[in-house]
Amino acid sequence: MKMKLIDAATVIRSKNCSPFELTMDIIIKDEADFQAIKDANAINKEVIAEAYGIPLDKVKKVIYFDVARAIKAVMDRPVASGAPGDTDVYGAQQHAPLLKLELEV
């Protein structure tokens, strides 16, 4: 079954994890959807790498946090925060590719 992430989530956001890494936070609305996503491992390093068009080794980790029905993905920033060429110092505008994700659960 396919599930649109944007329909299942209450929060999809990005922020700096450090000057060199971004973190994507996803909070799922209900327990059943969270468990289905987790059981299917529907959000993993490969899915994140594909969504962002980056090499797999640039995705550092994907963590499922049961208590909050949350998923966190950490990846390398393409440009360090505040460095020449950086267009998003806070990393707050980097979640857009996640809005298009359709998950296989």
Q: What is the pLDDT of residue 59?
A: 98
Domains in the chain, CATH or no CATH each: 2-95 (3.30.70)
* Among 14, 18, 28, 20, residue whose Cα is nearest residue 80: 20
pLDDT tier for residue 96 given thresholds of 50, 70 and 90: very high
User: What is the rounded distance in angstroms from the CA atom of residue 67 to the CA atom of residue 4?
Assistant: 22
pLDDT in tens, 29-86: 999 999 999 999 999 999 999 999 999 999 999 999 999 999 999 999 999 999 999 9
The whole model's pTM is what?
0.94
Q: What average pLDDT does this structure show over 6-18? A: 97
